[in-house]
Structure formats: structure tokens, C-alpha cells
Amino acid sequence: KAGVTQTPRYLIKTRGQQVTLSCSPISGHRSVSWYQQTPGQGLQFLFEYFSETQRNKGNFPGRFSGRQFSNSRSEMNVSTLELGDSALYLCASRGGFDEAFFGQGTRLTVV
């Protein structure tokens, strides 16, 4: 069974640009959550999608958005990038309320 796949693994963007990250969950899992990991703030919840609907949202500005497709794949978008958006972005895949599996993450560097 394939794991959670995040693409791309690494990304370098310039301030003011926008970026789209992709997450393919484990087959059969309908919940995808996104997290931002930084040395200063640790792991922070961005949002969760379940069956194409946003079910929960963290405390991030509106520049951070996401969506989920009918095949459960999810994308997150960050517009007008700031230096502080440099982070490891992780997505988690869940089939139920128990196990939550993470991908390898996308390392975003904003210069």
C-alpha cells in the first residue's frame, strides 16, 4: 500500500510569488490535513479537508488556502509569499479517527 506522497520535495520561491503544494493520501483515506513546521513555532495546523470540504481551519492568514479533489488528493496554495513562510509543509492522511500518517513534506524556501 503506497504511503502519503507530497510533491515537490523542495521548492525555492521569491517573496511575492505564489506556490502550490500537492498531497496524495493513502488510497481509501478521505481526510487530508496540512501542517506547517518551523523551528520557532513547531508544528502548526493549517487546515483539514474531508470529502472535498474544509472541515477545520487553523489560525493562518487568508493567503493560505487549500482544496481537495474527488480522488482525495489535496493541494494547498500560499499567495504573496513572505520570508516567514519558509517552512516544512507536511500533510497527513487519515482513514478514520485513529491512525494519521504523514508524508515526507515539502521544504519551501522563500528568498
Partner 1 sequence: GEDVEQSLFLSVREGDSSVINCTYTDSSSTYLYWYKQEPGAGLQLLTYIFSNMDMKQDQRLTVLLNKKDKHLSLRIADTQTGDSAIYFCAEVGSSNTGKLIFGQGTTLQVKP
Give the binding site for partner 1 (CB under 8 A): 4, 6, 31-33, 35, 42-43, 45, 48, 50, 55-56, 58, 90, 92, 94, 97-105
Q: Which lies closer to partner 1 via its Cβ, residue 58 or residue 86? A: 58
Angstrom distance (rounded) from CA 6 to CA 89: 9
Angstrom distance (rounded) from CA 58 to CA 56: 7
Shortest Cβ 2–partner 1 spacing (Å): 14
Angstrom distance (rounded) from CA 65 to CA 79: 8
Shortest Cβ 16–partner 1 spacing (Å): 27
Q: Which lies closer to partner 1 via its Cβ, residue 50 or residue 75? A: 50
Q: Which lies closer to partner 1 via its Cβ, residue 45 or residue 75? A: 45
CA distances from 71 to 4, 12, 32, 80, 83 (A): 14, 28, 11, 28, 33
